[in-house]
Amino acid sequence: MNAKPHIAIVGATGAVGVEMLNTLEKRKFPVGELTLLASARSAGKTMNFRGRAVPVRELTRDSFKGIDIALFSAGGSISKEFAPLAVKAGCVVIDNSSAFRMDDAVPLVVPEINPEDIRKHKGIIANPNCTTAITLMALYPLHRAFGVKRIFASSYQAVSGTGAKAIAELKRQVGQIVAGEPVTKEVYPHQIAFNVLPQVDVFLPDGYTKEEAKMENEGRKIMHHPGFRASVTCVRVPVYRAHSIAVSAEFEKPVTVAAARAVLAKAPGLDVVDNPAKQEYPLPLYATEKYNCQVGRLRKDCAMDNGLCFWVAGDQLLKGAALNAVQIAEELLK
């Protein structure tokens, strides 16, 4: 791999694409050359990188000649069509969609958890689901110490997970309600402002949604833990960009709050924010635009043996997407 690689961002003008560009700049990633790719609709726009305007080009079948690493965030159908073409052109693809996550030939990576899996790539590396990544930042260190058997979890997911149009919809609806105007909706099936929707993604035949199934399936793969079980309810809340998850976890070994806190305090990419006496706990508002996830509300689970409850929050666009992808690219350079 070139020490100063030619980087492409596919879906550069979307909510995650914008964060990928910002993250490359903020983390001083050694970008040799930069190519920004998007749909024909966005072609011709410019985006700023390191003080210069970079034009956005239309994504085509031959966009990948000479590119070393392509960060994809343009949806599953685009990834399925264009990622194999990028690999054929000699490019390594880091894909943010769900297209390849459960493919046995594709590593699914959170760099703080399973960086060694990156070495097994055959051209494509998958970025996990945002809720799964944020949850595992706190769960995995505990798993290493105490051996997790199963979790029961509820997520409180920001609208950024649906994309830039959903962020705009929440802003618009808040304005409409404040002005006493009728509420209009385009992105979600129900009003999201001042409401919560117990549906994220489409329903599966068993009554869970796709998003809820991802926690168990992706969690097993990332943690190399085929027996891991997760019963999850995913909820969309009127928050702009940080996800929160309430987790009750059952472990093989006895776990105390003090032992759990000691483990979490040493975990990379995680801050312990847990001082109930001062009303200090992770808040999506304060996790926004932070690289680290936050964990708090640590307590023994009173309904399970060897159980621990905790609350974790993290920026959906960063650790849940763009930051994780750039961290994978950083690992590739090592």
User: Quick one: how far is CA 154 from the chain centroid?
Assistant: 16
First to last CA, the chain: 9
Tokens 């979790």 belong to residue: 151
State the Cα angle at 217 between 90 and 107, rounded to 5°: 20
Cβ(71)–Cβ(8) below 8 Å? yes
User: Quick one: how far is CA 160 from the chain centroid?
Assistant: 11
Residue 53, Cβ density class (10 Å: 0-12 exposed, 13-18 middle, ≥19 buried)? exposed
The interaxial angle of helices 323-333 and 15-26, nearest 10 deg, is 50
Which residues are tagged catalytic? 130, 243
Two structure tokens written together for 196 = 């919560």
